[in-house]
Amino acid sequence: MKLAEGLALRADAARRVEQLRARIVGSARYQEGEEPAENAAALLAEVGMVLDEFEELIRRINRTNAAAQIGSDGTITDALARRDVLRLRHAVATSAADAATGRNHGGSGRQLRSELKMLAALPVAELRAQADGLAREIRELDVRIQRSNWEVDLLD
C-alpha cells in the first residue's frame, strides 16, 4: 500500500469515528417506554475497533514519514514541518501587510481634514512580495510531498 492510500484510509477512519460518535450521543439516552434509535453499546464497540485501526494507521504513517527521504528536503516529516512553518510565515506576512494598509480596520482613511492621518509602519509592497514568494515555495513543497505520498510504500 502506498502512503497516499494510508492517508486516505486515515481520513476515512477519522470521519467514521466522528459519525459513530454522533450516533452514540444520539442513542445514549432514550425516553422511557420507547426504544433507542440504535444500540449505543454496539456503537461503542464498533468505534473502539475503528479507533484501533485509526491508531495503527497513524503509527504506520508516522514511521513512514520519519523514514522516507524526499530529495534535499530530508524526510517527509522534515518537509511537513517546513510546510507548516512556511504557512505560518505566509499568514504573518499577509496579516502584517493587511494591517499596514488598514484593511482590518474598516475605514480606508480620514473623512475630515481634522481627523488624524494613519500611516503604514511596515513596507506593504515588500510584505506582499514576501508573501507571494512564500506561497510559491509552499506550492512547490506541497507538490514534492504529494508526489512522495504516491511513490513511497507505507511501512508496517
Burial (0-12, 13-18, 19+ Cβ within 10 Å), 97 = buried
- Give pLDDT tens digits for 121-154: 999 999 999 999 999 999 999 999 999 999 999 9
Question: Environment class of residue 121 by beta-carbon count within 10 Å: exposed (0-12), middle (13-18) or buried (19+)?
Answer: exposed
Q: What is the pLDDT of residue 104?
A: 67
Residue spans of the domains in the chain: they are 1-67, 69-156
pLDDT at 107: 53
pTM score, whole prediction: 0.82
Q: Burial code of 48-85, b = ≥16 C-beta within 10 A, e = fewer?
A: eebeeebeebeebbeebbeebebeebebbeebeebbee
Phi, psi values for residue 2, rounded to 5°: -80, 155
pLDDT digits (tens, 9 = 90+) for 41-73: 999 999 999 999 999 999 999 999 999 999 899
User: Given this model, what pLDDT does residue 51 score?
Assistant: 98
